[in-house]
């Protein structure tokens, strides 16, 4: 699944949400300088926001298709898994990972981050948590179970658990790797309105759908689209962006 998002990098970049401004500001303010490393940078969504905030960003991305797209938007990217990437003598003021740190070994990744960070540099991993309206979630669950029997997917259960297990796993990895102060967690809540077209554009970029054959994907999109029509053609969704951050000792 981790290598499936690049199947349509243009859609991924167009449809996936950016990160809330307070998070970007917190990363910049906590960093002792402006040289940043973006782990699993994807198409460069977070990297471009950090660039706009005055940072110099280098991306590390295992998928050449995603890296190629990011380069076209002005992000310098090296293709590698973070655990295997060789930084040489380069050092950074912050290491960040948006929607990506769960693909990295939590201890090896934190140890690599500690190796490339300057003193007092920060490691920050962050994720979006969201829950569509009940009607849309139910339509998705029903259609997904029909086209992919035995593999249920319920947005409400995902939102209920949230990314707390990933935050805890990241924090435990940071502690185990050593070289960091005690990790802290933060949450940023915000809302976004989606039209039918916008949500059906984003939905195929989710991990549950990136590997579905086109005919099965069409069934899911048709049923979710019908549910959005019943709601008047659009809906507002609450996002919570969560982060875990630690400073290099």
Domain ranges of the chain: 5-247
Torsion angles phi and psi, residue 130, rounded to 5: -150, 160
Assign a CATH topology to domain 5-247: Rossmann fold (3.40.50)
Collapsing DSSP to helix, strand or coil, 51 comes out as helix
Query: Is beta strand 117-131 parallel, antiparallel or unpaired with respect to 234-247?
Result: antiparallel
Q: What is the pTM of this model?
A: 0.92
| Tens-digit pLDDT string for the chain (249 aa) | 556 666 789 999 999 999 999 999 999 999 999 999 999 999 999 999 999 999 999 999 999 999 999 999 999 999 999 999 999 999 999 999 999 999 999 999 999 999 999 999 999 999 998 889 999 999 999 999 998 888 777 666 666 666 788 899 999 999 999 999 999 999 999 999 999 999 999 999 987 787 788 999 999 999 999 999 999 999 999 999 999 999 999
Alpha-carbon gap, residue 107 to 86, rounded angstroms: 17
| CA angle 239–244–248, rounded 5-degree value | 150
107 in Cβ contact with 123 (< 8 Å): no
């Amino acid at each position: 699944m981790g290598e499936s998002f690049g199947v349509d990098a243009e859609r991924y970049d167009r449809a996936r949400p950016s990160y809330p401004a307070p998070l970007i500001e917190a990363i910049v303010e906590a960093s002792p300088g402006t040289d940043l490393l973006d782990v699993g940078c994807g198409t460069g969504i977070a990297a471009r926001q950090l660039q706009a905030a005055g940072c110099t960003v280098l991306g590390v991305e295992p998928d050449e298709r995603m890296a190629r797209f990011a380069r076209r938007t002005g992000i310098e990217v090296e293709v590698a898994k973070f655990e295997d990437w060789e930084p040489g003598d380069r050092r950074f003021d912050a290491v960040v990972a948006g929607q990506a740190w769960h693909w990295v070994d939590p201890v090896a990744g934190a140890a690599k981050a500690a190796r490339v960070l300057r003193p007092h540099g920060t490691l920050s991993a962050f994720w979006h948590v969201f829950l569509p309206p009940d009607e849309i979630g139910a339509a998705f669950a029903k259609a997904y179970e029909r086209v992919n029997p035995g593999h249920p997917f319920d947005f409400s259960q995902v939102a209920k658990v949230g990314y707390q297990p990933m935050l805890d796993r990241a924090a435990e990895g940071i502690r185990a790797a050593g070289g960091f102060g005690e990790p802290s967690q933060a949450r940023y809540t915000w809302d976004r309105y989606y039209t039918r077209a916008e949500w059906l554009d984003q939905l195929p970029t989710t991990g549950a759908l990136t590997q579905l054959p086109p005919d099965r994907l069409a069934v899911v999109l048709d049923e979710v689209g019908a549910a959005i029509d019943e709601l008047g053609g659009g809906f507002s969704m609450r996002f919570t962006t969560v982060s875990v951050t630690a400073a290099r000792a």
